[in-house]
Each structure stands twice: as C-alpha cells, then as structure tokens.
Amino acid sequence: MTAKYATTRQPQREASLTAGPLNPEPYGHALAVERLSKRFGERVAFEDVSFEVGYGEVFGFLGPNGAGKTTTVRTLGTLIAPSSGTAIVAGIPLSPENGPEIRSRISIMPESPGLYLRLTVMENLQCFAGLYELNDVHGRIARALRAVNLEDRAGDLCGALSKGLRQRVALARALLNDPAVLFLDEPTSGLDPVATREVYELITSLRDQGVTILLTTHRLQEAERLCHRVAILNTTLRMIGRPDELREQLFSRSLDVRLRKPLDDPEAVLRALPGVEGWEQVPSGYTLTVTDPEVAAPQVARVLVSTGADILSLSESRHSLEDVYLQLLDEDVEEKR
C-alpha cells in the first residue's frame, strides 16, 4: 500500500466502539455527507441526507426496499451524480472530476457479486488489480483471498462456485485496493443461513481490523450485530445513532412484570408504586413506564410482594432495533395518510 493510503485506515479506537459520531480528530471523517439529494425527474430517490462516518467505524444504512440506500451508495461512489448537496468521500470532495480519485480510494460490493463467471477466481481478481493499477498483484490477491478464506479456490471458475462463495470472491475483490471506505450493499441478500453467517464473520473480522464500512441492509439483526451506529433511511434520513440510543430516543423506559395471577385492583397498586409514571396490562402481565428501571425495579418488587402478589419475573423491557425501525416506518405511513 502506498503511503497515501497508510493514514486512511487507522486502528480502531475505544471511542469508536462506544461513542456516537467518532472524534474527527486527528484523522477526519471517512465520509461527511451534507444535505445530499438525488432525484430522477419527479421521483425522489433520497433527499436531504446528512451524516458522518469516522475512520474505523461500521455504519449501518437501514431502510425498506426503495428507500434510497443503494442510490445513496452509488452517489457516494461517483456512479451517479447528486441533484444537490455535498459530500467528502475518503477525504476527497464529491465531484465528477474527482470520480477516478475517489473510486481508487473506496470499494463497493454491490448486491449482486457481478463476477465474470467464465473466468477463474484468480483471473477475476487479476483483472480488478489491473483496473486499480495495483503493485504487488500476486501478494495483494493472496492477502485478499486469505481474508475471505478462499486461498484454495483461486483456480476455480467463478461459474462453478456457490452463491455464498461468489459473495466471498466479491468481498475479496472489494478488499484488493485496501479501501479507505468499504461500501457493502446488502451483502447477505439471497444467501442461506450458513453463507450469511460466514459473511457476518468476515465483516466482523474486517471491523476488528479497523476497516471503515458502510453497510446497507434491511436485515435489522445484521445491523444490530455488526454496526457501531445505524441510520434509518426512508427517502429522508429518519434517525441516526447507536442502536441503544435509537431505542432510548423512541421508546420510554419500562419494566415488564409477570405475576402468577392478575392483581385484583391494578390501578390502585401500580399507580402507587414509586418511580412508576404509567402502566398497561399486556397478555403476559403488566408493562410499567418508569424513569429509571434500575431504581424502580427493587422498589416495585418490594411493594408487589408486600401486597401478596407472586412475581414470576421482573425485567427491563428490551426494544429491538426492529421495534425502532417498524415504529419509524409506521410513523411515515401515518404521515402519508
């Protein structure tokens, strides 16, 4: 790798794993997007999208089909010209003139692997090493194949590989140029659970090596498992943050209480509980809205036991990213009505 790129991939810092937007100093942002929009005639693909991604961060781009995820990636990859807005990609301002320079610093793995099926794995990678004008072609190909555990399949025709293996070859291809930012567009789309798990392991390995990744997906479990932060896009950017931050922003904190039998007068008991702001009966028991679950839980347990209730379980409600996602999409549907 040339010195030019040596500074772009930084070791992952503690802050990148725990904080929201990474501290831009001293490395700057891998991606800085400001009010970016793309329209195809009257149709809005995405609009007014702004976000930043720090070096070493895995950033998830979530959204339903047609939300504009792939178009955003293609725009940042200079395949499509934005209608308005600005962006800095791998340290370079997004513009048609800078297209080749930006594309030399990034990689995009499209949803479909797009391999030359009549060529071997090695021949595919040799072609792309030439397109990137890489030095030490054999060394780089060997490293890329090692990264995806395909060293022993270099001589195989791509057409003879399974879908999962093709996806791995596509990932090796995307790693060839040691990209400052790696865009993965629906990397597990159409894969069976075993192949999906393999791709997850590869992405986790890249994340652990400090590779900056922008991952588009509509698989929420995937985003929750792999990403430091996520953005939810539905033409416009709806929310952005760590999965737990999004949960906190969208849902009040609550306790789930399961009792052996329902309370005779729940209103009287639950209203009086310290730290409880509200309650509702659910099939499994009661959900209590609280200000601080850690403070409220012991007090709730004591009062319920003193009233003679048999507690089967008492736990803080866990909203998944899926809950956040569905809540936001429901809000969008409501707004459109």
Q: How far is the CB of 168 from other proteins (least distance, A)?
A: 14
Between residues 79 and 295, which has the closer beta carbon with respect to other proteins?
Answer: 79
Between residues 1 and 79, which has the closer beta carbon with respect to other proteins?
Answer: 79
Q: How far is the CB of 117 from other proteins (least distance, A)?
A: 8
User: For residues 59 and 30, is the Cβ–Cβ distance under 8 A?
Assistant: no
Q: How far is the CB of 195 from other proteins (least distance, A)?
A: 18
Q: Tell me which residues touch other proteins (CB under 8 A).
A: 40-41, 71, 74, 77, 79-81, 100-101, 103-104, 107-108, 110, 112-119, 123, 126-133, 170, 173
Residues in Cβ contact with 7 at an 8 Å cutoff, skipping those fewer than 6 apart? 27
Between residues 133 and 208, which has the closer beta carbon with respect to other proteins?
Answer: 133
Q: How far is the CB of 230 from other proteins (least distance, A)?
A: 24
Between residues 168 and 238, which has the closer beta carbon with respect to other proteins?
Answer: 168
Q: How far is the CB of 169 from other proteins (least distance, A)?
A: 11
Between residues 107 and 188, which has the closer beta carbon with respect to other proteins?
Answer: 107
Between residues 50 and 83, which has the closer beta carbon with respect to other proteins?
Answer: 83
User: For residues 157 and 187, is the Cβ–Cβ distance under 8 A?
Assistant: no
Pairing of strands 236-241, 254-259: unpaired
Q: How far is the CB of 113 from other proteins (least distance, A)?
A: 8
Between residues 129 and 147, which has the closer beta carbon with respect to other proteins?
Answer: 129
C-alpha separations of 154 from 168, 177, 180 in Å: 12, 18, 25
Q: How far is the CB of 166 from other proteins (least distance, A)?
A: 11
